Every structure is written in structure tokens, then in C-alpha cells.
Amino acid sequence: MNNFPGLSLVVGGARSGKSRLAERLVRAAGLPLTYIATAQAWDDEMAARIAQHRDDRGAGWTTIEAPRDLCGALASARGAVLVDCATLWLTNVMLGDGDVVAEAAALMAALRAHPGPVVVVSNEVGWGIVPENALARRFRDEQGRLNQQIAEAADLVLGVMAGLPMVLKGALPEGVR
Amino acid sequence: MNNFPGLSLVVGGARSGKSRLAERLVRAAGLPLTYIATAQAWDDEMAARIAQHRDDRGAGWTTIEAPRDLCGALASARGAVLVDCATLWLTNVMLGDGDVVAEAAALMAALRAHPGPVVVVSNEVGWGIVPENALARRFRDEQGRLNQQIAEAADLVLGVMAGLPMVLKGALPEGVR
Amino acid sequence: MNNFPGLSLVVGGARSGKSRLAERLVRAAGLPLTYIATAQAWDDEMAARIAQHRDDRGAGWTTIEAPRDLCGALASARGAVLVDCATLWLTNVMLGDGDVVAEAAALMAALRAHPGPVVVVSNEVGWGIVPENALARRFRDEQGRLNQQIAEAADLVLGVMAGLPMVLKGALPEGVR
């Protein structure tokens, strides 16, 4: 535990195995497990996706639902924390007409101040053709900026491709392959 | 040959140089070469792309056309095998109303059972904004799951960016830069 | 300086921190700084983006505006050169009905012949679902080919994710983290 990273970022494409890798990472801290879920079941497709993630995760987690108030959720979270994911949180902020710059600054302060290990999952969304939709363009800009901010503050940053980690910053703790 | 990986996955974006890298890899096995082609010439654009790939590949290959029946193609393939690519195969399964889970399970069993070296090329398709089209969203989920399955079974996994390999799992055999 | 790479490529998704990383790299050459800007302010969104990049860059740069004539710009550039970016240049060539193959060949010749260090920034655009738009499909093919050509000629190739470099070819010069 002494060398377990304080803040970690696990970043990659959709269905790349980010959540599963992040779960293995959080378990390696050897602490009680808290799962902060940002997903909201807007429709059947999303409800099925949430249920699938919960089944994949298995038992032993305290879950906090926090579609938007990640700062409050972090304040009450105990042990090793998994935030899944920054991309749905950003979606909720933008669709809720939130002030992205202010909310991201508050989130970064809460992540830096949190006393125990936190692993944040986030998506890379800027590796395709420029979207025709202006909101989509704005989203990928904000997501890119947010990922850079979390990565700069993090002790460990893992890119994920086909379920496999690429160490971009720091070092994988023992017990995580 | 002793250390040549049994199953390899070469994964990356479109036009990233995946096929060329995979061909260099397969040649390094020092065996007769079999090319399993999943592409179908639906239109002139695809026909031109297929012809371009064939020209790039050069001589010395036995080609098996297998838009859908990869298991049958693997059963009859000799020597070192290149499957190009899992993304067009998945497209053919989904457009043909196939049972993706069952066909992917059969493919994985065939890949695991194949006695000689096999290199599978596949695309990363989940690094952009969430597609508006429901079929596209389903495709990127299925592609992500398939890539994770192949990567888990593989001895060697290479990500490709700008024609250059990133070793995600295993080690590049001698003779492949 | 003795070991500073002659030609470098910095490649990644949108808003991944490519430009900032490329600027740190160019500064490490310890030479006068030339910035070759390919962006054109077609609309307010792009004008704001250009102004943001200029503010991020800070003082000390000689700027050459070259939306299309990168060869001419390279011929007159002194010191260490940052070309930002190949993606907007390719956009300008394609929207201007240029001959992409011929212009890319001329650009590659100019990059190879340039006497001092050059760092080229470029986007990865092929990691999403196949675009429905034919021009977008052609763009990602041409961008992928161009990135491969630059990477093949380069001494140093860096992929960027969440602001962090992945060394794909060569080695980071001292003084660049």
C-alpha cells in the first residue's frame, strides 16, 4: 500500500476494457471499495449498460450514485475509490447547462484533496474525423482538456487498448498485471 | 521459429499501416504464407481498396476469400496465416444478421486451436464521439469486445500508430523492426 | 543540440496536448524559434482557437502563416521550426482541390531537405467508426498515409494521450519530460 498511487487515470476508447482494468487497479489497494457511478439510465440501452457494468464488477463495493456532484461523493467516499466515469460526468454537466470550467476546477480540487486512493476512468474521444455537430466538437474539446488536467495531477496514467494497459506516467503497482 | 508467437493481434486506426506491419510480422515466421481476405467488393471504392492491398502485399501468398467463414478458412490454411481483417468480418456478420456472440465464440475457438502462427488485423473504432447511429454504437461495442477477446488469447499484441508498432503484450520476434 | 532530432512528428487526438508538447520539444533545441501556422480563420470558432493557441505559445516566436505553401515557409524558416499542423494543411489542400499526392511528395522532400530541426504536429483521425461522408473517408485515408510518410522519415515520433508522450520511434532529447 505504501507505494499505491494517490490519483490514477485510466483512459482509452469505448469498450476498450477501461472499467475492468480500473477495477483490478482499485482492488490492488487492499482497502474497502467505493464505486462512484456517474451513469444515468436515460433509456433502455443505458440501463442495460449500467446493469452489465454492475454484474462485471462483482460483490464487495459500496456504490454512490453521483451523476453530477462528484465533489460531494468524494467527500463521503471511504477506502479506495473508483470514479466511473469522467466522460458521463462531463456529459451530465454539459447537458445540464453547467459551467464546465468552474465544475472542472472544483472537481480537480476535490481529486487533489482526497486523502485516499482514487482511480478515474475517462474516454478518449478526439481520435476521429471532426464532428459535424457543434456540441460534439465542444464536447471533445472539453473532454480533452479535462483528461489533460487529470493526467497532470495524477501519479499514474494508463492508456488502454484491447483491454491491455500502456503506462503513460508512473508505474503499475505490484499485483496488477 | 521456436519463439514465434502462436496468435498475434495487430490493432489500430484506419490507414495506420496495420496490414503492412502484420505482413512483415507474418513473413518473419519463415513459413509458406496464407492470406485470409475478409473484404467484399460491395462497390468501386472497396474494389479499389482491395486491389491496392493486394498490390502492396506482393507475391508469394496463397489467398483464401472468407468474408464470413473464418473457421472454415483457418481449417484449410497452411503455414503462417494473416487474417485481414476482423473488422470487415464483424461487419459481414452483423450486416448478414448473424449471431455475433456465437460466431465470435466459434472464431475464438478456431484461433486457439489453430496449429500454426496466425496474425489477426483489427481496427480500433471507439476513440471518437458516441455515434448518433444505433447500429454504429452496437458495432463499436462488439468490435471492442472482440478485440479484447483476441488480445486476451494472443501471445503478441501490437498497437499501430503512423505505421509504428507499440508492444502491448508479448515481444516482437527477431527480424521485425 | 548534437543529438537533437532533425525531423520529429507529434501525433494524437484532438485536444490531446500535441501542440504544447511539440512546443516544449522545439524549445529544447536551444535555437531561435519559428512557428509555421497552417490554420485559417474561416469562422469565429476557428479564430478563437487560433488566438488560444497563440496565447498558450507565449513570446519569442517568429510566425509564418502558411495555410498551403509549407515548402515556401520551410525555405524561409530559421532556427528550430514547429509546423502546426499537417492536418489543417491537408484540409486546405483538399478543400482547395489540390493534388494531394503531388503536394505531399513535395512536402516530404522539403522536410527531408530542411537543414535545421523541424517538429510536425498532426492528428490521428482514423480511430472511430467509418464516416458516412465520402470526403471524410477520403480525408482519413490521406491523413493516415501522410502520417505514415512523415513517421517513416522522422528521427523521433511521439504519440500523445492526455498530454503525455508515448515514444514510438527514437528517443526524447534531454530536457523534455
Mean pLDDT of B37-42: 87
Contact yes or no for C16 and A168 at CB 8 A: no
In sequence order, the β-bridge partners of residue A121 are: A10, A84
A contact test, residue of B18, B90, B125, B129 with most A CBs within 10 A: B129
Closest in C13, C133, C140 to A126, CB measured: C13
Summarised one tens digit per residue, pLDDT across range C103-131 is 999 999 999 999 999 999 999 999 999 99
Judged by a CB distance cut-off of 8 A, whether residue A161 touches chain B is yes
Distance from CA of C78 to the nearest CA of A (A): 31
Q: Using an 8 Å Cβ cutoff, are C159 and C22 in contact?
A: no
Distance from CA of A76 to the nearest CA of C (A): 28
Helix axes A134-153, A100-113, angle to 10 degrees: 20
Single out the residue of B147, C12, B131 nearest to residue A15, CA to CA: B147
Grid cell in block for residue B69: 467463414
Mean pLDDT of B101-125: 98
Contacting chains of C (3 CB pairs or more, <8 Å) are A, B
Distance between CA atoms of C27 and B130, rounded to whole angstroms? 37
Distance from CA of A59 to the nearest CA of C (A): 31
Summarised one tens digit per residue, pLDDT across range B43-83 is 888 888 888 888 888 788 999 999 999 999 999 999 999 99
* Chain B hits for A12, Cβ within 8 Å: 127
Q: Using an 8 Å Cβ cutoff, are B164 and C157 in contact?
A: yes
Closest-CA residue of chain C to A166: C166
Q: Which residue has the higher pLDDT, B109 or A52?
A: B109
Judged by a CB distance cut-off of 8 A, whether residue C164 touches chain A is yes
Q: What is the pTM of this model?
A: 0.94
Distance between CA atoms of B77 and B114, rounded to whole angstroms? 9
Mean pLDDT of C47-74: 89
Single out the residue of A20, A31, A15 nearest to residue A57, CA to CA: A20
Spell out where chain C has E strands: 7-12, 33-37, 61-65, 80-84, 118-123, 156-161, 164-169
State the complex-level ipTM. 0.93
Scan for cell 493481434, then name that residue.
B9
Judged by a CB distance cut-off of 8 A, whether residue C15 touches chain A is yes
**Under the phi-then-psi rule, with left for phi > 0, alpha for psi from -120 to 50, and beta for the rest, what region is C162?**
left
**Under the phi-then-psi rule, with left for phi > 0, alpha for psi from -120 to 50, and beta for the rest, what region is A162?**
left
Summarised one tens digit per residue, pLDDT across range A141-170 is 999 999 999 999 999 999 999 999 999 999
Distance between CA atoms of A126 and A177, rounded to whole angstroms? 28
Q: Using an 8 Å Cβ cutoff, are B70 and B84 in contact?
A: no
Helices and strands (H, E) in chain B, number of each type: 6, 7
Q: Using an 8 Å Cβ cutoff, are C119 and C8 in contact?
A: yes
